[in-house]
Amino acid sequence: MEKDKIFQFWLHHLPGVGDRTIEKLLGRFGSPKEVYNAGQTALKEVLGNARALSVLEFRKTFQLQRAYEEMLDKKIVFCTKEDESYPQRLREITHPPYGLYCLGNLPENQRPAAAIIGARECSEYGRAMAEAFAGRLGGAGVSIISGMARGIDGIGQQAVLAKGGKTYAVLGCGVDVCYPASNRRLYEEITEKGGGILSVFPPGTAPLKQHFPERNRIVAGLSDLVLVVEARQKSGTWITVDMALEQGKNVYAVPGRLTDRLNDGCNLLIRQGAGIALSPDDILAELMVIRNRNSGQKGEKKEKTKAKEKSAAKTGTDMTDKEAAKAEGILRFLDYHPKSVDEILEGMQKAGIKTGLPLLLNELINLCMEGRAEQVTGNYFIRKE
């Protein structure tokens, strides 16, 4: 597999060859190694004569082994769509990137994820909102995706780390290039605390202006929803919003004062139909709805779960008993009148049951899928017979 990886690495470095052309080359030759070994005539069928010659020249001059080993020495991981580790959320967008470079860890597929973005030159209000929303979501187990830019992006990611959460920075340059340089400590702390630095651009790539729309597309792609904390009416934030909407993601915005130009973008988004984020719990509730809906759409997964439950019921395993006890324990704190997640959690903690919000949310979703509970609105639940 490692030999295959080095040819994937070479394929991703081809000058003037983007993701769609890579797909065409793989469709024609079958594997990166076969592309590497292809001659001019065969390459010309896909690339045309000029680009075929360029690829052949690149094969002669590019020090493949050296570049690959340098990447490994920097502890950079390169994954492609051919790898199981490739993020599932990216597989689901239109034209997913062929390759992704990572320092640290990739986002966990099973963990809910939200992008928090906004103005580089933010106000004190924007700073406070970014810290409040990002800190609460990160502390609740939500992966926070952002671009590590100055302002809202970086402030939100710092708040996540302060609460012990995980955050992932998507860069418009190589993962070995800290941009902006002023966020060097944040860049280092993200990986130290279990998150990751991600990029679709090869190591050493400079942070060029034309790279950032693609960076923003990946930020949206890795997220279940996008939260805009503060933005002007005309700003780069809108690129990420547009990308998210194209991908079918929900967009939320934190409202602001009508007289503050830094809030024009958020207020306009709300007027155009974006969700109003009045508290972090609004976002947590929406993430639960998304997770519940996605689980419901995976018929095969549900059938496997049912089969597993039937098998467990037959065997009467200890695990089944524990799971049943856990579910019954949570049901004790539900009523036929709506109760918020915070009320349920508080009741359990007063009764001496140690649990966290992420675990409680997960169990509530499972109870809803089993028909034993129902999410009536926002983060409110009721018990069902």
- For residue range 69-128, what is the model confidence (pLDDT) as tens digits? 999 999 999 999 999 999 999 999 999 999 999 999 999 999 999 999 999 999 999 999
Do the domain assignments include residue 35?
yes
Would you state the pLDDT for residue 366? 75
Quote the pLDDT of residue 296.
60
Q: Is the pLDDT of residue 201 over 60?
A: yes
Residue 309 has pLDDT above 70, yes or no: no
Indicate the SS3 state at residue 223: coil
Q: Say if 86 falls within a structural domain.
A: no
Ramachandran region of residue 27, left (φ > 0), alpha (ψ -120 to 50) or beta? alpha
- Does residue 325 register a pLDDT over 80? no
CATH number reported for the structural domain that contains residue 318 in this entry = 1.10.10.10
Domain of 263, in residue numbers: 102-286
Mean pLDDT of the chain: 87
Q: 235, 266, 286: which is the final residue of a domain?
A: 286
Q: How many domains does the chain contain in total? A: 3
Q: How confident is the model at residue 315 (pLDDT cuts 50, 70, 90)?
A: very low
Provide, rounded to the nearest whole percent, the portion of the chain with pLDDT above 90: 66
Task: Tell me if 82 is assigned to some domain.
Answer: no
pLDDT at residue 158 in the model:
97
Residues 213 and 122 in one domain: yes
Q: Are residues 249 and 362 in the same domain?
A: no
Residue 305's pLDDT band, with cuts at 50, 70 and 90, is very low
Q: What is the DSSP letter of 108?
A: P
Q: Check whether residue 178 and residue 42 sit in a common domain.
A: no
Instruction: Show the tokens assigned to 156.
Output: 């939100």
Q: Residue 130: pLDDT above 60?
A: yes
> Residue 266: inside a domain, yes or no?
yes
Residue 91 lies in a domain: no
pTM, 2 dp:
0.77
Among candidate residues 225, 222, 199, the one with its CA nearest the CA of residue 212: 199
| Closest to 135 measured CA to CA, from 121, 155, 149, 112 | 155
Residue 228's nearest CA partner among 263, 271, 261 is 263
Q: Is the domain of 164 the same as that of 217?
A: yes
**Domain presence at residue 308:** yes
pLDDT at residue 298 above 60? no
Please tell me whether residues 158 and 268 are part of one structural domain: yes
Average pLDDT over residues 338-364: 81
* 47 and 119 co-located in one domain: no
Examine the domain organization and report whether 13 and 137 are in the same domain. no
pLDDT band at 330 (very low <50, low <70, confident <90, very high): confident
Residues 124 and 208 in one domain: yes
- Of the three residues 252, 286, 320, the one that is the final residue of a domain is 286
- Say yes or no: 307 and 278 in one domain: no
